[in-house]
Amino acid sequence: MRRHIARAWTGAVALAAGAAVLPLAAPGSAVADSVVIGGGPVQVSEHPWVVAIASRDRFGGTRSGQFCGGAVVSRTTVLTAAHCVDSGVLGVPLSEVRDLKVIAGRNDLRTSEGDEITVSNVRTNPEYNSSTNSGDAALLTLAKPLPESYVIPVAGRGDAAYRAGTIAAVYGWGDTTGGGQYANSLHAAHVHVLADTVCEEAYPGSADGKYLAATMVCAGERQGGKDACQGDSGGPLVAQGRLIGLVSWGSGCGRPGRPGVYTRASDVAKILRIRG
């Protein structure tokens, strides 16, 4: 999230520098966010609802311009984090980004496999609060529909998948070490849904954000080591075949006592009027 962006940006600059052509105007202040620490490679063909959010103009072409993740929630809509489309991450207002894309079916970002689809509209959750990070979600409309088989159902309120102790998986192309090593291919890690009290105690309110159980989900491992990280933001947290969260924020990556915080998918589904 926002306050980690300076660190994330370090990695992105390194990536952009590897590109043959640097963007004319590199994003000034930020990049995207965080994936997967302590996980391993997976095939996007088996998890086709995981997509990359990309802009080559803003982030360079080496890794297809990827800077966040997203989840396909209908043939023409993708959920991502609100903070992924704010100017803090993009470096310019969203309206100035002319090549915002959703990339589906591309395992390795250095290739051209799969589909690159233009984003025709962006709706940020009107209830997003960038101080607490509550409601960190945005809905992207695609210019061209994806196959129905790519769509993942969104968990509803009170879904059993939200119970503490449930095993979930988080997916992304983000930092795999916490040190700015962005993945070229999709990674995933298994984490447990944790009791809200764990995150309420870890994040009672600071410059990083404040854990709010109504709009957030707490997930990780008590001993740390498995987590989302910079570049994974907006990407899916999935349990029992349903989308339960979006990578949103946390203090560092994989630190014991510092679980990952996810946007509660059932809460934003209601606001953005999508399934759930």
Residue 185 is a catalytic residue: no
Nearest residue (CB) to ligand 4AZ, 87 versus 141? 87
Binding site for ligand 4AZ (CB under 6 A): 1, 4, 8, 33-34, 227-230, 232-233, 247, 249-250, 253, 260
Q: Which of 4, 83, 187, 192 is catalytic?
A: 83
Nearest residue (CB) to ligand 4AZ, 36 versus 78? 36
Q: Is 222 left (phi over 0), alpha (psi -120 to 50) or beta?
A: alpha
CB 174 to ligand 4AZ: min, Å: 8
Residue 160: how many other CB atoms lie within 10 Å: 10
Which residue is listed with tokens 């940006």?
Answer: 9
CB 209 to ligand 4AZ: min, Å: 10
CB 254 to ligand 4AZ: min, Å: 7
Nearest residue (CB) to ligand 4AZ, 12 versus 117? 12
Residue 83 is a catalytic residue: yes
CB 84 to ligand 4AZ: min, Å: 9
Q: Which of 33, 57, 86, 136 is catalytic?
A: 136
Nearest residue (CB) to ligand 4AZ, 1 versus 155? 1
Q: Which of 233, 248, 266, 267 is catalytic?
A: 233
Nearest residue (CB) to ligand 4AZ, 34 versus 66? 34
Residue 87 is a catalytic residue: no
- What phi and psi values does residue 265 have, to the nearest 5 degrees? -60, -40
Give the CB-nearest residue to ligand 4AZ: 33
Which structure tokens are listed for 77?
A: 């809509």
CB 7 to ligand 4AZ: min, Å: 7
What are the residue numbers of the active site? Answer: 83, 136, 233
